[in-house]
Structure formats: structure tokens, C-alpha cells
Amino acid sequence: MTKPRTHRFDTLSLHAGSRPDPATGARATPIYQSASFVFPDSDHAAALFNMERAGHVYSRISNPTCAVLEERIAALEGGVGAIATASGQAALHLAIATLLGAGAHIVASRALYGGSHNLLDYTLPRFGITTTFVDPRDVDAWRGAIRPETRLLFGETLGNPGLDVLDIPRIATLAHEHGLPLLVDSTFTTPWLLRPFEHGADLVFHSATKFLSGHGVVIGGVLVDSGAFDWDAPKSRGRFPTLTEPYHGFHDMVFSEESTTAAFLLRARREGIRDFGACMAPATAWQILQGIETLPVRMQRHVDNTRRIVAFLSGQPLVGAIGYPELAQHPDHALAQRLLPRGCGAVFSFDLRATREQGRRFIESLRLFSHLANVGDAKSLVIHPASTTHFRMSADDLARAGIGEGTIRLSIGLEDPDDLIEDLSRALYAAGK
Amino acid sequence: MRLAVGTDEVYVYTGARALAPSRASIVFVHGAANDHSVWSLQSRYFAHHGRNVLAVDLPGHGRSTGAPLESVEAIAQWLVRVLDAAGVEHASLVGHSLGSLAVLEAAARAPARVDRIALLGPAVPMAVSEALMDAARGDDHVAYELIVGWSHSAAGQLGGNPVPGMWMTGTALRLMERTRPGGLAVDLGACASYANGLDAARALRCPALVVTGSRDLMAPAKSAEALIGALNGPRVVTLACGHAMMAEQPDEVLDALRAFL
């Protein structure tokens, strides 16, 4: 059988979207640190503005370095394209603002990053967009929360911080039965561990600050479109006027007619990035590209180290439940084996059987683990979610999200795992005194 | 814009512009398992530069209803009916791949209706590999993957899309995945069975442009040599790209069309 000519993941991590610089021959992607780009002539300028020619006008709308990143992540996710944004939060906002207006409704997993929860629960209602939060494992709850005005289903591949595994195939099927798209935050998994489009998701975003860049040096996000959702399909017809009706802000363009597969990205770039302006800086894109070049080898090491740490913690008397789906007792263990055969990432939480004071001693006794609000760094990190990332949530909401007073979240880095185990062992001893 | 052609509804992209009788018209015809959106940049340019643009979805493709047409001759006849339905007396025709054959045949059949023709990625004959045909008959996804692989140059397969942020091969694959069951096999069958290409080329009286891709594996440039020889003094442009030339080199394709149309 003749085989298709395609490149594999590790090759795309290094090459997708980039070519040697035509002006200089530079092999590495240059940082095009320019706000704007010269037009050859007036007709060319007008054609660029009116989407009649391809190219760059102004770096808020697009930039050559950012475009390489956008192509690369689209290639790795198996999508049609992407938009780089100022942060993961900007990517989430761009997705929502592109599809929804006042009066629209979202159904979301309640196991979300605290920042995403803030946006959905506190901020968007001020703009007329409301959200119903549901147990991500309860498909009936998802179904029951869908209303006539619902326009989007949203969850995280691995819920924060309990690592609830989103059953993407089932939730996507449910969404599509109702003519709705499924948006997935894939930050914790990266496309190396999970490619949500292959399981039915329609839109994916990342905080590229995390594993994609991998070194904790930049803030950035990417929003990727599978290109598979049919915004004009009978079940969806009339629900997404931003994509299917003339847009007076761009010469009455009907985005779904302009592009069969990339209507969402067209609108997101021609309106959302243009008007809200949460674009990525080219130097940031360059840093993230450097990170993605080593994503496969880093993720393997992250996962290997995490397995060692989880095994160590499992035998510690001061450690209660460990929320890592590779453990047989995790409620999503079977689902994780199906969706995440390469591993369940390098961020997980565990409960310390200790007082709040003992928890403080544990964190402050760690020497290699850095106490900070981030994950997905090459260096190992630790945080106490209840007092930091999720501190705005009520006690009930915290409990529903699986966060207790003693919950500790670790992000396992690339250090020698024996050194990490020694660090944790010392901190547990200090906490237990 | 939607037109009624027989019992079918035909979708025609016009660049959000109403057709005006005073303007010259250009009809864009896509290839197998594609739709009007493969012409998005080029068609939009002409629509906003003084031309009527009719970028059609062939029957059974994209937003057009009906069944895919089983021969190039049938598509050529259908194109003339589209002109009738749109009230366009005559037009220049631009076709890609299967669409290029349909444009050639239409110009030979209805010379009074055709001003100029531009043939992008043509091959006469347009042979289809058995492996591809077998996969298409079975609606096997591999058929789309083979086409994407053969339609993009080695460089194009790694991206570098002139359109910011778009992954070319992913876009091509996703568009073809929208093809209705059996549609690709019908399209490829029409390509493979078309035998009138050289006679149509010899009969042609209007100016012709042929655009080939030097890295085209789907319809290699040498497969257009007999066609070029049969045409009466065509303009020939060779671009350093694969079969998916409107995606790989959109500006170069546009410039070739601007210089000709």
C-alpha cells in the first residue's frame, strides 16, 4: 500500500512552520522585532488589508516569528491554524469573545484553573455571558446544563488541580449532538501527551507559559482551531452569527463563506486580535519555539520523574490521597489509560495529613522545589492552591473542585529524581516534627 | 450567492460583491474534493478590483446541493448553465486540477461564452494512481492523506504558509474530510476518464494561461507538456511549488492571473 507523505511529531516539533530565512539564510527562526512591515506599493497595501494577499501588516495582527509558532502548534495539534496570544487567559478570552456575545451561555467543567474560573464566574457575567459549572465526570450534568442559549462547552484535559481526566470523546459527542463546539484547555498535557482534536474537540488552547515553552521565562498562549466544526450545519445554524453572517467591521465578510475550515480563526484574528489586542510579542514566540523544539524529550523526562515522585509519596505516612490518574485508585484511571497512553503529565496534587502550620513547614522546608504560582517549568515547583491560585473560591467551590486545606500541588521538573525525592523527604520530616 | 441550476442549488462566492453587468466576469472552478475556498485570496482580489467573481462549489461539493458530476464533459456543460443562471453572457474561466479540465472543455464547447482560460495544475491525460483510486472508492481517509502528501512540495509540507498562522496541509486535509461519501471517487473518476483534452486544446480559440508547479507530484509539470503543445500559443508560468499552488504561492498565482486576465 502506498503510504502518505507525512512528518512525525518529533520532526514537526523542530521544523513545522519554519524555513531558513530567505533574506539571510539564518537557520534559526529570526525574531522579527518590528511593529510593522513595508508595503511594496499602494495596491499591495490595500490587498493586504482586505485579505486579498497573504502577509503581515502590523504585529498586533500578525508577525512572522509568531506565525512560525502558530503553524508549529497547529501542526502538532493536527489543526488548521492557530493564533498566538499574550497569555493563556488571553487565548481563552479570544475563543469566547469570538463565538459568544451578551446573553450567551457556557457549560464548563468545575475543575478549572483558578484564573479560568475567575473569568467565567466573576468577570464574563458583567458582559452578559454566564457559565454553569458541572462535575466533569458527570455527562448527565453536562447534558442537563445545556440551554437554548448555550454556545460552548469547555473543560481541561487534566482538571486543575485534581487531574480529573476530561472524557473528551463523550463530551465532544454530547456537544456535537447539540450543535455546539467543545473547547479544551490542553496546557497540562501538551500535544505530546494528548491531541484533543483526535478525540473530537473543536478548539484547543494552551498557556504556552507552561510545558510548551518549558522554562518559566515567558507568558504566552495559543488558540488552535481543528477546522472540523461546521458552523453552518443544520444543528448549529443561526447560533454563531459572528461567523455566519456579514461582519460590518470587515466589509461585510461572512467568515464561514470566506473560509470553509478556518472561519473561526479568521474572525478571531480580524476582530479579536485586532480589537482586543492581546497579541504575543515576537521575542516571546521565539522563546516558546525554542521550548517546543525539545518538547518530546522534555515531556518524556517530566513524566518519568513524576512517576518516581508519585511512587515515593505513595509510601509516606504523612501523605494522603494522591491525585495522579496513573494510580489505580484514581477515579479516572481507566480513562487515562485510554486517552493518555504516554503518561498523565507532571503536575499533580496530594493531600498532606497535617495541620495548616505543618503544611507551611513542608513548603518552606523544600530547597529544590520553588514555591511559586506556575507549572510546567524545567525546575520543580510547589504551591498550596487553597491559599493562592484558588483563594477566591468559596469553601464549597473548593471542596467541589477537590481542593482541601492540606492539598499541595507539585509540578515536577527535569532535575535528577533522586535529588527531588531527597528534598521531599526532608520537607516531610520537617512537617512531621 | 445561491443560484438555481436545474433542481440543484449552487453556491457561488462573489467576494461579498453583487454582480454588475458592466464588469467583466471571472469564474473560478476548484479541483477534486475541494470547494470555492481554495481560491479565497485570488477570488477576493478580483472581486475588489473591478471584476464580477463567481467562485463556484461544484455540485455535491461545499454548499452546493446535488450529486457530484461524473465526467469533465458534464462539469463543462454545468458551467455554462451556471453562467446562464447568473445572467453572465461571457466570462474568463479559471480552473485548478479537475477544474482546469472542466474549464478547458467548457471553452471548447462554448467558445462564444468564454473570453480566456487559465489552467492551474492541469495534466492531459490526468492519470490517477490505482492506490489512490482504490482508497477513494472505499472512502478511506488514506486517500485524502495521499492527496495532501502529493499536492504539497517538500518545503510546503513543513509549512511556512504565507498566510499567517495557517497550517497548509492541515487545512487541505480538513477541507477534503468534508467531502460527501463517494465524492472523491467520482471526482477522480472524472479526471481519469477525460479523453478529450488534447482535442479541446487544439479547438480552442481564446487565449490560455497554463500554470504548473515544478514540485507537483499530483499532476507533474511534464504531464501538462502535451496540453501546452496542443494549445495555440499559451502563456506558461511555472512556479516553484506543488499542486496546492493557491495555498503554497498565493501571491505568485494571483500575479500570474492578474497579468493574464
Say whether both A17 and A161 belong to one domain: yes
Residue A4 lies in a domain: no
Sheet-wide strand order for A150-156: A81-85, A221-225, A203-207, A182-185, A150-156, A105-109, A130-134
If asked whether residues A46 and A189 sit together in one domain, one would say: yes
- The answer as to whether A2 is a domain residue is no
CA B22-B27-B29 angle, to 5 degrees, is 170
Question: Residue B167 has what pLDDT?
Answer: 98
Domains delineated in chain B: 2-260 (3.40.50.1820)
Q: What is the pLDDT of residues B192-207, one digit of tens each?
A: 999 999 999 999 999 9
The 10s digit of each residue's pLDDT in A331-352 is 999 999 999 999 999 999 999 9
| Residue that is last in its domain, among A272, A290, A308 | A290
CA distances from A272 to A96, A182, A240, A268, B76 (A): 10, 19, 15, 5, 42
Q: State the helix-helix crossing angle for B168-177 and B141-151, rounded to 10 degrees.
A: 150
pLDDT of residue B83: 98
Q: Are residues A240 and A276 in the same domain?
A: yes
pLDDT at residue number A388: 78
- Which of B131, B160, B250 is closest, CB to CB, to A17? B160
Do B50 and B38 touch, CB atoms closer than 8 A? no
- Same domain (yes/no): A170, A73: yes
Q: What is the per-residue pLDDT across A120-130, written as a single tens digit (0 to 9) for each?
A: 999 999 999 99
Chain segment B24-49, per-residue pLDDT in tens: 999 999 999 999 999 999 999 999 99
Residue spans of chain A under pLDDT 50? none
Name every chain A residue with its beta carbon within 8 A of the beta carbon of B167: 16-17, 71, 74-75, 79-82
How crowded is residue A118: how many other Cβ atoms within 10 Å of its Cβ?
Answer: 16
In the listed set A266, A290, A314, which residue is the last one of a domain according to the structure?
A290
Angstrom distance (rounded) from CA A124 to CA B88 = 50
Q: Is residue A321 part of a domain?
A: yes
Asked if A285 is an interface residue toward chain B (Cβ–Cβ < 8 A), one would say no
Q: How far is CA A13 from CA A71, A262, A294, in A?
A: 11, 22, 7
Encoded amino acid at A165, one letter = V
Q: Of A237, A268, A290, which residue constitutes the final position of a domain?
A: A290
Looking at beta carbons, which residues of chain B come within 8 Å of A20? none
Q: Give the nearest partner residue to A74 out of B40, B145, B167, using CB atoms.
A: B167
Show residues of chain A in contact with B132, CB under 8 Å: 2
With a threshold of 0.90, does the pTM exceed it? yes
- A365 domain-assigned: yes
Considering the domain architecture, whether residues A149 and A54 belong to the same structural domain is answered as yes
- Judge whether A70 and A262 are in contact, CB under 8 Å: no
CA distance B68 to chain A (A): 18
Residues A371 and A417 reside in one and the same domain: yes
Which three cell numbers mark A383? 504551591
Distances (CA, A) of A202 to A175, A264, B245: 10, 10, 27
Q: Does A7 touch chain B (CB under 8 A)?
A: yes
If asked whether residues A217 and A346 sit together in one domain, one would say no
CATH at residue A249: 3.40.640.10
Q: Assess if residue A140 is contained within a domain.
A: yes
* ipTM of the modeled complex: 0.96
Q: What are A369's three cell numbers?
A: 522545589
- Which pLDDT does position A404 carry in this prediction? 81
Query: Quick one: A69 and A162 in the same domain?
Result: yes
Measure CA A31 to chain center. Answer: 24
Q: What is the pLDDT of residue A401?
A: 67
Nearest CA in chain A to B164: A67
Q: Would you name the residues of A annotated as active-site residues?
A: 60, 113, 185, 210
- Kindly state whether residues A277 and A381 are assigned to the same domain: no
Residues of A with Cβ-Cβ distance to B169 under 8 angstroms: 6, 75
Whether residue A299 is found in the same domain as residue A285: no
Would you say residue A47 lies in a domain?
yes
Q: Is residue A26 part of a domain?
A: no
- Whether A122 and A216 map to the same domain: the answer is yes
A138 lies in which domain range? 9-21+34-290
**Of residues B192, B211, B56, the one with CA closest to residue B121:** B211
CATH number of A426's domain: 3.90.1150.10
What is the number of structural domains in chain A?
2
User: How far apart are alpha carbons A388 and B65 in whole angstroms?
Assistant: 56
Give percent above pLDDT 70 in chain B: 100
pLDDT at A66: 98
Does residue A199 share a domain with residue A72?
A: yes
In a domain, A263, yes or no: yes
* Mean per-residue pLDDT, B78-97: 98
**Pick from B40, B164, B251: which is nearest to A70 by CB?**
B164
